[in-house]
Amino acid sequence: MPKGGRKGGHKGRARQYTSPEEIDAQLQAEKQKAREEEEQGEEGGDGAAGDPKKEKKSLDSDESEEDEDDYQQKRKGVEGLIDIENPNRVAQTTKKVTQLDLDGPKELSRREREEIEKQKAKERYMKMHLAGKTEQAKADLARLAIIRKQREEAARKKEEERKAKDDATLSGKRMQSLSLNK
């Protein structure tokens, strides 16, 4: 025989769920009951029932209060019975779409701020680099100047060698023509 004493146990039972309509109906009934008790306490037991118009008005006001209660946080447990004033508690308020300020300045996180500053610094550096004001740009320009001079010298030497070769070939042809003329 299992330890529980009987076979099965509570875990295999079918679960029962309460529909939202039933919950709303229960809440309305509880509120109605509480208001009736308050009215009887205020009247001091004057009569069994009050004016029907007053009851109708109180029902209408109940509905408008319910709408307001839906927007506020529902109190759980003992909170409904005891009013606690906590200065550190911030009530969450829902904002309507019309109340949102989309055009106003947005506070950026530290990472976003740093990323933007990094991009701006990079752009400033590139502008200075293109203007030739940074050390790296100066070094690059000096290196380019040296390379230009080397290329110019190499081109000049090639030109001189070509001229010398042309002169040599011309002088060689002259020699041949002179030797042939003899």
Asked if the structure places residue 162 within a domain, the reply is yes
Q: What is the pLDDT of residue 16?
A: 78
In a domain? residue 115: yes
pTM above 0.85, yes or no: no
**With b meaning 16 or more CB within 10 Å and e meaning fewer, what string describes 26-60?**
eeeeeeeeebeeeeeeeeeeeeeeeeeeeeeeeee
Residue 9's pLDDT is: 57
- Number of compact structural domains in the chain: 1
Q: How far is CA 78 from the centre of its chain?
A: 37
pLDDT tens readout for residues 35-62: 999 888 887 655 444 454 444 444 444 4
151 assigned to some structural domain: yes
Q: Give average pLDDT by consecutive 10-residue segment, the chain, 182 residues.
A: 57 76 94 91 59 48 50 63 75 76 74 95 93 90 95 96 89 71 62
152 occurs within a structural domain: yes
Structural domain contains residue 155: yes
Whether 124 is in a domain gets the answer yes
Can you tell me whether residue 164 is helix, strand or coil? helix
Domain span at residue 129? 109-181
Measured from the Cβ of residue 124, the count of other Cβ atoms closer than 10 Å reads 10
What is the reported pLDDT for 82? 73
User: 43 in a domain, yes or no?
Assistant: no
pLDDT value at position 161?
94
Q: Is residue 22 part of a domain?
A: no
Distance between CA atoms of 121 and 128, rounded to whole angstroms? 11
- Can you give the pLDDT at residue 146? 97
